[in-house]
Amino acid sequence: MQGPLYIKASGDPFLTVPDLWALLRELRMRGVKNLGDVVIDRSVFGNVGINPDSFDGAGDRPYNASPDAAVVGLGASRIVLQPDARNRKWVAFIDPPVPGIRLEGEIEWTNNRCPGSPNISTRVRTEGRGR
């Protein structure tokens, strides 16, 4: 494909990662093999920014996110736990990645039979700007 691919985002809150994969598949079926720059026009809502904690103090909840024309998956991320049997540990990561967010802590590795869903909780801790 010559030149950039332009996408005009419309603010569909139900756009999902599988929808994005379907869009890429559609491009490929139409003969696009390689993409250069991708330009996303997010201007449909104008310049909007809110304090996500101002509504109910739960700024980490997806329903408190600022409007964004290019939101995907309601703007939520998930914590994925992947087994690393060789090193006898679990590797946790955030999908999709969020700049400035990191995971700390460990989940115990065992060779025992799994008794069911693990009891895992999260706690959001703010450490100040740029950390």
Per-residue pLDDT of 102-123, as tens digits, reads 888 777 788 888 788 777 777 7
Q: Are strands 78-84 and 89-95 parallel, antiparallel or unpaired?
A: antiparallel
Residue 59 makes CB contacts below 8 A (sequence gap 6+) with 51, 52, 53
Residue 96 makes CB contacts below 8 A (sequence gap 6+) with 17, 72, 77
CB count within 10 Å of CB 71 equals: 19
Instruction: Look at residue 30 in the predicted model and tell me its pLDDT.
Output: 94
Per-residue pLDDT of 14-26, as tens digits, reads 899 899 999 999 9
Q: Is the pLDDT of residue 126 over 50?
A: yes
- How far is Cα of residue 50 from the mean position of the Cα atoms in its chain? 19
Which of 20-24, 62-66, 68-72, 94-98 is most confident? 20-24
One-character DSSP codes across 64-87: GSPP-TT--GGG--EEEEEEETTT
Tokens matching residue 81: 């736990």
Instruction: Please give the single-letter amino acid code of residue 57.
Output: G
* Residues 40/9, Cβ–Cβ less than 8 Å: yes
Q: Is the pLDDT of residue 131 over 50?
A: no
